[in-house]
Amino acid sequence: MGQVAPASTGEAFLTASEVDHRSEGRADERPTSHRAEVPRSRRILTRALVVLVVLALLGGLGTAAVLTAPGLARTLGLPVSASVDPPEPVVFRPELAALPASAPTPTPEGVAAALGGRTAGLGDLTGVVLDPASPQTPLWSRNPAEPQVPASSTKLLTMAAALLSLDPETRLPTTVTAGPTPDSVVLVGGGDVSLSSLPDGRESVYPGAAHLDDLVAQVRAARGGQPLRTVYVDTSRYSGPLLAPGWDPVDIAGGNLAPMVPTMLDGARLDPTALDGARSGTPAQDVGTALGKRLGADVTVRDGTAPAGAAVLGRVESPPLTELVHTAMTNSDNLLAEALGREVAIRENAPASFAGATGAIRKVLGENGVDTTGVTTSDASGLSTENRIPAAVLASVLTPAAAPTGTDPRTAILRPLLDGLPVAAGTGTLVDRYTADSTNAAGRGWVRAKTGTLTGTNALAGVVSDVDGRLLVFAFMSNGPDPVGARPRLDALATALRGCGCR
- pLDDT per position as a tens digit, 136-184: 999 999 999 999 999 999 999 999 999 999 999 999 999 999 999 999 9
Amino acid at position 61, single letter: L
Burial class (CB in 10 A: 0-12, 13-18, 19+), 171: middle
> Which pLDDT belongs to residue 134?
93
**What's the rounded mean pLDDT across residues 236-264?**
95
Cβ proximity of 410 and 491 under 8 Å: no
Pairing verdict, β 389-390 and 312-317: unpaired
Q: pLDDT tens digit string along 225-243?
A: 899 999 999 999 999 999 9
Within the chain, what is the greatest distance between any pair of CA atoms? Answer: 76
pLDDT in tens, 267-314: 999 999 999 999 999 999 999 999 999 999 999 999 999 999 999 999
SS3 state at 258? coil
CB 65, CB 96: distance < 8 Å? no
| Alpha-carbon gap, residue 175 to 179, rounded angstroms | 12
The two beta strands, 184-189 and 230-234, are parallel
pLDDT class for 91, splitting at 50, 70, 90? low
pLDDT of residue 86: 62
Using 50, 70 and 90 to split pLDDT, how confident is the model at 85?
A: low
- List, for residues 33-77, the tens digit of each pLDDT value: 443 333 333 333 333 333 333 333 333 443 333 333 344 444 444
Supply the residues annotated as catalytic: 152, 155, 332
Per DSSP (E only), the strands in 279-409 are: 300-303, 312-317, 389-390
370 — pLDDT class (breaks 50, 70, 90): very high
Instruction: State residue 485's pLDDT score.
Output: 85
pLDDT of residue 422: 97
Distances (CA, A) of 231 to 18, 317, 387: 41, 20, 38
- Residue 248, phi then psi, degrees to nearest 5: -115, 125
Alpha-carbon gap, residue 388 to 390, rounded angstroms: 7
Residue 18 has pLDDT above 60, yes or no: no
Cα angle: 240, vertex 245, 247; to 5 degrees: 110
pTM of the model: 0.84
CA–CA separation, 498 and 360 (whole Å)? 35
Determine the Cα–Cα distance for residues 8 and 406; give it in Å rounded to an integer.
8
Nearest to 59 by CA among 400, 449, 470: 470
pLDDT at 478 > cutoff 70: yes
| 213 neighbors 225 (Cβ within 8 angstroms) | no
> Cβ distance 94 to 80 under 8 Å?
no
**The pLDDT of residue 11 is above 70:** no
Residues listed for the chain: 503
- The mean pLDDT of the chain is 85
Rounded to an integer, the average pLDDT of 187-192 is 98
457 SS3 class: strand
Q: How far apart are CA 328 and CA 280, in angstroms?
A: 19
Q: What is the mean pLDDT of residues 346-353?
A: 98
Name the band, by pLDDT with cuts 50, 70 and 90, for residue 120. Answer: confident
90 band by pLDDT with thresholds 50, 70 and 90 = low
| CA–CA gap between residue 132 and residue 402 (Å, rounded) | 6
Q: Average pLDDT for residues 186-215, to the nearest whole number?
A: 97
Paired sense of beta strands 173-178 and 184-189, if any: antiparallel
